[in-house]
Amino acid sequence: MTKIEACIFDLDGVIVDTAKYHFIAWKSLAEELGFEFTHADNERLKGVSRMASLEILLEIGGLQFSEPEKWTMAEKKNTLYVTYIEEMTPDEILPGVPEFLLELKNNGVKIALGSASKNSPMILDRIQLTGMFDAVVDGNSITEAKPNPEVFLKGAERLGVLPENCVVFEDAIAGIEAARNAGMRCVGIGEPQTLGMADFVIPGFDGFTVSKFKGAFGEITIENHIGT
């Protein structure tokens, strides 16, 4: 029988749609460097760390720069990105997310954030969800990017739960691979064609309930940690 004690959520693309702001900021940098950056290109950056995203962008543009120049560019992109996320409000939480998080908590399931983004604390603050998480592991507390499992293993450790009793919610292929590498189960958020490595895929949390969650995994028990 599958035992679920904790759920670990990616942030970008799972709780909020920040890909549109990343896109504007990377596109602006690309234009400044003299090449075009498309929505299809942006898909390649999902779940990928900031510096790795810059490497992909420069590869698309066929350009090479020194390390200090790259740090300056990443900083510039982030400054523009932050102007957008600073304005975020709870209205930008994706449909069904608060309800599902609350239902998990009411069922005694521990909840962690597992994101590559160094901007996670600011985003959680702006959308007023910081208090919902029992642990937050983000780009500031990890050294290895997804698909390395570090972010999810740290999340499980901070919650005091074994990896095999955790389920990860992810929208990026690199994130699903990271969950697999951590020995965790994984729910894909998006298209089944893209996220085939997940245990199952849902389009989003709208209408998704703990009962559906249990049903999708077949026989599972939810371990109640209320009061522990």
Task: Point out the residue whose Cβ comes nearest to Mg ion.
Answer: 13
Separation between Cα atoms, residue 121 and residue 177, nearest integer Å = 24
Rg of the chain over all Cα atoms, to the nearest angstrom: 18
Q: Which of residues 68-97 bind ligand BG6 (CB under 6 A)?
A: 78
* Lookup: tokens for 77: 């992109």
Judged by beta carbon, residue 118 or residue 225, the one nearer Mg ion is 118
Separation between Cα atoms, residue 198 and residue 134, nearest integer Å = 24
Q: Does 22 bind ligand BG6 (CB under 6 A)?
A: yes
Strands 185-189 and 166-170 come out as: parallel
Q: Is 10 a catalytic residue?
A: yes
Residues forming beta bridges with residue 166, ordered by sequence position? 6
Judged by beta carbon, residue 6 or residue 11, the one nearer ligand BG6 is 11
Q: Which of residues 123-142 bind ligand BG6 (CB under 6 A)?
A: 139
Q: Does 115 bind ligand BG6 (CB under 6 A)?
A: yes
Residue 119 binding result from Mg ion, ligand BG6, none, given CB thresholds of 5 to 8 Å by partner type:
ligand BG6
The Cβ of residue 8 has, within 10 Å, a number of other Cβ atoms equal to: 31
Residues 48, 87 contacting (CB under 8 angstroms) = no
Tell me if residue 38 falls in helix, strand or coil.
Answer: coil
Q: Is 12 a catalytic residue?
A: yes
- Minimum CB separation of residue 103 from ligand BG6 in Å reads 24
Q: Does 45 bind ligand BG6 (CB under 6 A)?
A: yes
Residues interacting with ligand BG6, by CB under 6 A? 11-12, 22, 45-50, 53, 78, 115-119, 139, 172
